[in-house]
Amino acid sequence: MAATVSDNLLDWYDAHARELPWRAKPGTPSPEPYRVWLSEVMLQQTTVAAVKPYFEAFLARWPNVEALASAPEEDVMAAWAGLGYYSRARNLVKCARAVAELGHFPETESDLRRLPGLGAYTAAAIAAIAFEKRAVVVDANVERVVARLFAIEEPLPAARKAIRIAADAITPDMRAGDFAQAMMDLGATICTARDPRCLLCPLSNACKARAEGDPGRLPVKAPKKAKPLRQGQTYWMENDGAVWLVRRPGTGILGGMRALPDDGWNARSSGSMQAPSPGIWESAGVVRHTFTHFSLELTVLTSLGASQPDGQGEWWPIDSLDEAGLPTLFAKAARLAQSG
């Protein structure tokens, strides 16, 4: 089965590979590791459509890993704004600096794993796609395809071990990078979460879930725990065409990002509801946002003619707020404050 699966999948990929800015065409020399690494870090928890403009902007500004390594961290954080999961941007800079110091990207999974912030998935993807090393690359798309192909009934996340073993069994020794990308493409375009298009699938003859009927029910997912709800306030302090912005502490949620001041809410507790300075505050509404471990209801309070609060921050011209690199949560809060 293994050879048939990989041969059929690679034939399908040769004809149907998605064209993506970080990709090389099937069967052509591998793309530069910098492009593979940058795209894979950006693609974690984010869609291809969302990543494309960021990838192109990053490449235009920092065309190689050395350029990114010498960029100030705050510039990279600001360019990342809107992509979410901001610890990835901080790790991106750390990793670029480590690679620049080494003088090249390591080629094996185990050496790649030693780079700061580089997890098992990303290491496997770079080893396979950039260096043609045989590696078992399992992202959420691949997880879904493999769970269906082998009719793995165990719920996720416990099923990950079985999925990995099964994925290993069908991974070929040659064209490892193309195989990994073919699996990703199959999951993204044919073996989709809700409505698998089995009639178009190159693996349909080998697929156990299809033979059993109703493949869309796999993979089974363990019920999610309800996320705790936290409440907080954020403050739009406007004075003479400018708004007061702060830089968030380096660690913690949205760490190191430029933001509106807030009342100290975090994953474990709601905020203090203490404004940064006395004044007349008006509510502009509530922004709702879901983080990995909690949901947040953030009330946006505005004050016009506000005086400068204690502590570090800067008056930022409202006309060029787009250039401040606010993360999505605070960009939404800013839009709400300005709509009043």
Q: Which one of 144-152, 166-174, 220-228, 265-273 is the stretch in contact with ligand SF4 (CB under 6 A)?
A: 144-152
Find the binder of ligand SF4 among 145, 184, 259, 326 (CB under 6 A).
145
Three-state SS at 214: coil
Cα 142 to Cα 120: distance, rounded to the nearest angstrom: 14
Residues 213-242 that bind ligand SF4 (CB under 6 A): 215
Q: Which residues contact 104 (CB under 8 A, 6 or more apart)?
A: none
* Least distance from ligand SF4 to the Cβ atom of residue 215, Å: 3
Angle, CA 316 vertex, CA 314 and CA 319 arms, to 5°: 180
Cα 93 to Cα 100: distance, rounded to the nearest angstrom: 10
* Least distance from ligand SF4 to the Cβ atom of residue 146, Å: 9
* Exposure string for 139-148, b = 16+ CB within 10 A, e = fewer: bebbbbbbbb
253 close to 266: Cβ distance less than 8 angstroms = yes
* Least distance from ligand SF4 to the Cβ atom of residue 17, Å: 17
- Annotated catalytic residue: which of 19, 32, 40, 66? 40
Three-state SS at 63: coil
232 close to 265: Cβ distance less than 8 angstroms = yes
User: 210 or 230, CB closer to ligand SF4?
Assistant: 210
Query: How many C-alpha atoms does 248 have within 13 Å on its Cβ side?
Result: 25
Residue 138 binds ligand SF4, judged by CB under 6 A: no
User: 204 or 234, CB closer to ligand SF4?
Assistant: 204
248 close to 278: Cβ distance less than 8 angstroms = no
One character per residue 197-216, x = contact with ligand SF4 (rule: CB under 6 A): xx--x-xx--x-xx----x-
User: 25 or 197, CB closer to ligand SF4?
Assistant: 197
Q: Which one of 117-125, 143-151, 152-160, 262-270 is the stretch in contact with ligand SF4 (CB under 6 A)?
A: 143-151
* Least distance from ligand SF4 to the Cβ atom of residue 159, Å: 16
* Least distance from ligand SF4 to the Cβ atom of residue 134, Å: 22
Residue 322: count other Cβ atoms within 10 Å of its Cβ: 10
Size of the site for ligand SF4 (CB under 6 A): 15
Residue 143 annotated in active site: no
User: 196 or 325, CB closer to ligand SF4?
Assistant: 196
Find the binder of ligand SF4 among 118, 125, 190, 321 (CB under 6 A).
190
* Least distance from ligand SF4 to the Cβ atom of residue 3, Å: 17
User: 191 or 246, CB closer to ligand SF4?
Assistant: 191
266: left (phi over 0), alpha (psi -120 to 50) or beta: beta
Taking CA atoms, 319 is separated from 118, 134, 247, 324, 338, in Å, by: 38, 51, 19, 11, 11
Find the binder of ligand SF4 among 23, 35, 90, 148 (CB under 6 A).
148
* Least distance from ligand SF4 to the Cβ atom of residue 162, Å: 16
User: 38 or 184, CB closer to ligand SF4?
Assistant: 184
* Helix ranges (DSSP H) in the chain: 2-16, 33-43, 48-61, 65-69, 73-80, 87-102, 109-113, 120-131, 140-149, 160-170, 176-189, 208-212, 328-339
Residue 103: count other Cβ atoms within 10 Å of its Cβ: 8
Which positions are catalytic? 40
Binding site for ligand SF4 (CB under 6 A): 145, 148-149, 190-191, 196-198, 201, 203-204, 207, 209-210, 215
